[in-house]
Each structure stands twice: as C-alpha cells, then as structure tokens.
Amino acid sequence: MVNIAIVDDHDLFRQGLILVLGQVDEFNVVGDFSSGDEFLCELEKLSVDVVLMDINMSGTNGIDTTRLVLKTKPLLKVIALTMFVEDAYYLQMIDAGARGFILKKGGKYELIQAIQEVNRGGNFFSQEILQRMAFKSIHKEKENLDKLSKRELEVLQMICHGLSTKEISDQIFISPKTVEVHRSNILRKTKLKNVAQLIIWAIKNDLFKV
C-alpha cells in the first residue's frame, strides 16, 4: 500500500485527485492539505510515502515546503505538480529534492505511473517536460564523458529510464550495494546533488533520449 498526501491550494483539484487515486487498490490517500504550512503542521502525525506537491501556493510555496519536508523526513518522496512548464520552477523543485514532475493537465495513467515509479525508488518526469529540457539542451556545450566508466554509463542509462536500485541490480547481476556505489560515484564525478539533476545532465550530454 502506498500512502499518499496531496498538497494543493485548489479544492476542486484536490478532490479530483482523491477520486482518481481512490480507484487504484494500492493507493491510500492519508490526507489532503490546502497549503504547505498546513501540511508541515501535520507532517509528524502522518505516515506518508509519496507527496503530490503543488508548486504555486500562497504562504509557504511548494519549493520551500519540499525543502522543509525533506529535512524532517528525508526518505519521503515528493512529486511536483504544476499547470505550466516553467524552467525556473522545475529546476528549483529538483534542487529541493523532488523525485518527479508532472503537469496538472496530464492524464490519469501518467499520474499513476509517476507515483508507482517514484515510490519504488525511481524518478518520473512527464514527457512534455523531458522534451522541453532536451530542446533547451541542443546548443549547450557538452561535457567530457571520459570521467565516467563504462559500467557507470550503463547504470546511468538505467537510472534515466526510471529503474530502481533493485531493478538495476537484477538486470546487470550486481548487488544493490554496488549499484548504490556506482550511483554515488556518478553524482560525485558529475558534481550533481540528486538523480533528478542527473537526468537533465544526461539529456544535455546526449546520454538519454526522449
């Protein structure tokens, strides 16, 4: 069972999400909140796996709420929600620690897929966002990729495709601990903070196609 919290300042949108998520047997909505401040006040009382977090909210916005939430519960997984593809917003949300990013106009199955992939340890970006990032990266200077080993490049590809540590471990026959070592080395060598930033880096350097 995946315990989900919804943080969004539009009542109708929250109610719509509750109805959609209620149709999935493995999902359990444990709370819905109209602001980041309201969610932060109740956070300690909740058992939550995944948070659907609106970005543009009055009071503490989704970016700052995400940072504060992950300081308290670093294992909690945040998926950002937004109406628009705004570069500044999704880059800030990624920097804050969000594991996924979906547009509110997206479909039901994209939402379900995002929650499932993020909950199992992967990442999820809507295709529209990935395509935008790829387009913006066309004319950017590419980096020297010799710093990554052949195995690290292989693991990077799987990370970009949303595979979890266990799935990567099973596919290339190495231990989960070794996968985590490769993941840490890739982040260290690329000087990035998290996997979401790594996906953007991979797109920019033609290592991941959308």
What are the tens digits of pLDDT across the range 18-55?
999 999 999 999 999 999 999 999 999 999 999 999 99
Cα 144 from Cα 148, distance rounded (Å) = 9
Quick: pLDDT tens for 52-107.
999 988 889 999 999 999 999 999 999 998 886 666 677 788 889 998 888 888 88
Contacts of 21 (CB under 8 A, 6+ apart): 4, 27, 29, 111, 115
For the chain, list the domains and their CATH numbers: 2-129 (3.40.50.2300), 140-204 (1.10.10.10)
Q: What is the SS3 assignment for 151?
A: helix
Cα 97 from Cα 182, distance rounded (Å) = 20
Cα 133 from Cα 126, distance rounded (Å) = 11
**What pTM does this model have?**
0.76
Cα 87 from Cα 169, distance rounded (Å) = 33
